[in-house]
Copies of this chain bind each other. A is one copy, B any other.
Amino acid sequence: MAATIRKISEIAGVSRGTVDRVLNGRGRVSEEVRQRVFRIASELNYTPNAAAKALAYHKKPAYFGVVMPPASVLFFNDILEGIKAACEELKDSGVCFEVFNVSNTCPDEAAHTIHMLLKKRASGMLISAMDDISVRDAIDNVVDNGVPVITFNSDISNCKRLCFVGQDLYRSGKVAAGLMIKLLKGDSNVAVITGNMNFQAHKARVEGFVDKISAADCSIKVVDIIECYDDYSLTFTNVSKLLENNRGIDGIYMATGDVRACADAVKKFGMSDKTRIICNDTIPDVINNMKIGIIDFTLDQDPYMQGYKPIKLLYENVFLGKKPAEFNYTGIGIKIPDNI
Name A residues whose Cβ lies closer than 8 Å to a Cβ of B. 49-52, 54-55, 58, 91-94, 171, 174-175, 177-179, 182-183, 212, 296-297, 331-339
Give the interface SS of chain A, mostly helix, strand, loop or mixed. Answer: helix
Residues in B neighbouring A174, C-beta threshold 8 A: 338
Q: Is the CB of A175 within 8 A of B336?
A: yes
Q: Are the CB atoms of B332 and A182 closer together than 8 Å? A: no
Q: Is A178 a contact of B338 with CB atoms below 8 Å? A: yes
Q: Which of A50, A94, A183 has the most chain B CB atoms inside 10 A of its CB? A: A50
Residues of B within 8 Å of A94, CB to CB, are 51
Taken together as a complex, chains A and B put the C-alpha atoms of A236 and B265 apart, in Å, by 47
A339 CB contact (under 8 Å) in B58, B333, B336, B339: B333
A92 to B333, CA, bound (A): 33
For the complex, what is the distance from the CA of A193 to the CA of B335, rounded to whole Å?
Answer: 24
Contact A336 B338, beta carbon cutoff 8 Å: no
Could you list 9 A-B pairs, sorted by A, with CB under 8 Å? A49-B55, A51-B51, A51-B93, A52-B55, A175-B339, A212-B338, A331-B333, A332-B339, A334-B339
Closest beta carbon of chain B to A49's beta carbon, Å: 5
Contact of A336 among B49, B54, B91, B179 (CB under 8 A): B179
CB distance from A187 to the nearest CB of B (A): 15
Cα A50 to Cα B88 in complex, Å, equals 12
Please tell me how many copies of the chain the complex holds: 2
A92 contact from B51, B91, B297, Cβ within 8 A: B51
> What CA separation (Å) do A92 and B93 show in the bound complex?
11
Expressed in whole angstroms, the Cα–Cα distance for A269 and B335 within the complex equals 32
CB <8 Å contact, A182 and B55 = no
The 5 closest A-B pairs by CB, nearest first: A51-B54, A334-B334, A50-B92, A178-B338, A332-B339
With a CB–CB cut-off of 8 A, which chain B residues contact A339?
A: 171, 175, 178, 331-334
A335 touches B338 (CB 8 A): no
Whether A335 touches B336, Cβ cut-off 8 Å, given contacts A51-B92, A51-B94, A296-B182, is: no
Query: Contact at B334–A336, with CB atoms within 8 Å?
Result: yes
Partner of A178, one of B52, B58, B332, B337: B337
Q: Return chain B residues, CB-CB under 8 Å to A58.
A: 49, 51
Complex interface: chain B residues within 8 A of A331 (CB): 333, 339
Nearest neighbor of A50 in chain B, beta-carbon distance: B92
Residue of B nearest to A59 (CB): B1
Q: Which residues of B contact A182 (CB under 8 A)?
A: 183, 296-297, 336
In the complex, how many angstroms separate the beta carbon of A48 from the nearest chain B beta carbon?
A: 9
For the complex, what is the distance from the CA of A337 to the CA of B171, rounded to whole Å? 11
Cα distance A94–B54 when bound, in Å? Answer: 13
Residues of chain B lying within 8 A (CB to CB) of residue A54: 50-51, 54
Q: CA–CA, A332 to B336, complex, Å?
A: 11
A96 to chain B, nearest CB (A): 13
- The residues of B that contact A55 with a CB separation of less than 8 Å are 49, 51-52, 55
Known: A182-B183, A296-B182. A338 touches B175 (CB 8 A): yes
Q: How far is the CB of A234 from chain B (nearest CB, A)?
A: 29
B337 lies within 8 A of A335 (CB): no
Would A171 and B336 count as touching, CB distance under 8 A?
no
Distance in angstroms between the alpha carbons of A332 and B337 in the assembled complex? 11
